[in-house]
Amino acid sequence: MSRVNTYYFIRRQGEEKIYEFPKGMKMTAGNPFRNTIDENDPAQAAIEYVCLGTDVTPMNAFPERSCPDDLRAQITFPNCWDGKNVWLEGSKHISYPAEGRFDAGGACPSTHPYRIPTLFFEYHFNDKYGYTPGARVWAQGDDIGYGFHGDFTNGWPEGLFTEIVNAGSSCEVLFEVGNCPPLKQYFSGIGGGTCQPDDPTVIVNEEIGDNSAISRLPGNNPIWNGGSAPNKSGSGGAASASASAPASAGGSTISSNGSGSTGQPSAAAIQPPSSSLAPQPVEDSLTSSPAPFYIPPTSTAAVEPPATTSQSGRWGGWGAKRRIDQ
């Protein structure tokens, strides 16, 4: 993998209010054990691959060709929240829009009326090799590509997104995101290498292919060979606009950090998950109604379209650089 980009897009309806991720929020997108695809289901369509250097039309499975300018795997998280829960099993506390594309600002369903930033991950893989069928495999054994997935645990300080919005043009910093004033303190270059898990035993000492080829997949997972995941549901996961997929259980999971909201969760709602693989359900309510971090201006003046930040030509948001996508 050559690089990873994380974006926080603002996709909304007109002058809709935007809410910060609440403190302790967790969510997942995708299903590591899916081996079929329903392109009409936003939770499945949100998993995409782009073969840069060729036809860059996104697809839902591994491209069957070499990608000279990188193979990009990308995933879009739901951007509608129930306003109450920081985690529900299967990520049922969040939803994709009830209308339009999964990555747009279509109307949220009535069950999830609070708009949150649209989290978007993209991973670039060097792919300057001759294509060989079956050579691309995710760590859980998926050799089709439908099982790509991502995890998010919110760790940003509360109010940070408000500070970024209020900073205005001073956060138009291209790819030097550490030069955005509210973010400078988080890009000191000190301490990152000393971070350790609370329970070191959760880290398995095995080769994962960081520096060389491996003789077997992590965990000795079998390759699916186009079939179902062993001992797992073939397509599994939520398949409606009102939920994402179950918590990740292996393979190419990625975790990121986000911000917090002014609606303070109860103590029970923000306890870290147990050492088990999947977070436990949390059904405690926030102690107060969430408050928006961004309220669009009432001015009717025309707003210039934002610049794009990705080679797909249709993205704008906070990530490598901060944008507000109208």
According to the model, what pLDDT value does residue 136 have? 92
Q: Is 50 exceeded by the pLDDT of residue 221?
A: yes
Provide the domain count of the chain: 1
Please write the tens of the pLDDT for every residue from 14-62.
Answer: 889 999 999 999 999 999 999 999 999 999 999 999 999 998 899 999 9
According to the model, what pLDDT value does residue 289 have? 66
Please write the tens of the pLDDT for every residue from 66-79.
Answer: 999 999 999 999 99
Residue 88, CA atoms < 13 Å, CB-side half-sphere: 18
Among 182, 45, 152, CA closest to 101: 45
Least confident window among 42-51, 82-91, 207-216, 281-290: 281-290
Distance, in Å, from the CA atom of 42 to the CA atom of 277, rounded to the nearest integer, reads 25
According to the model, what pLDDT value does residue 225 have? 87
Please write the tens of the pLDDT for every residue from 192-220.
Answer: 677 788 898 888 889 888 888 889 999 99
10 Å CB burial of residue 203 (0-12, 13-18, 19+) is exposed
According to the model, what pLDDT value does residue 86 have? 96
According to the model, what pLDDT value does residue 232 have? 60
Q: Is 80 exceeded by the pLDDT of residue 266?
A: no
Range(s) of the domain holding residue 169: 1-326
Task: Find out whether 141 and 222 touch, Cβ atoms under 8 Å.
Answer: yes
According to the model, what pLDDT value does residue 79 have? 97
Q: Is 60 exceeded by the pLDDT of residue 324?
A: no
For tokens 């491996």, name the residue. Answer: 214
Please write the tens of the pLDDT for every residue from 224-259.
Answer: 988 888 766 444 333 233 333 333 333 333 333 333
Other C-beta atoms lying within 10 Å of the C-beta of residue 154 = 22
Please write the tens of the pLDDT for every residue from 92-143.
Answer: 999 999 999 999 999 999 999 999 999 999 999 999 888 998 889 999 999 9
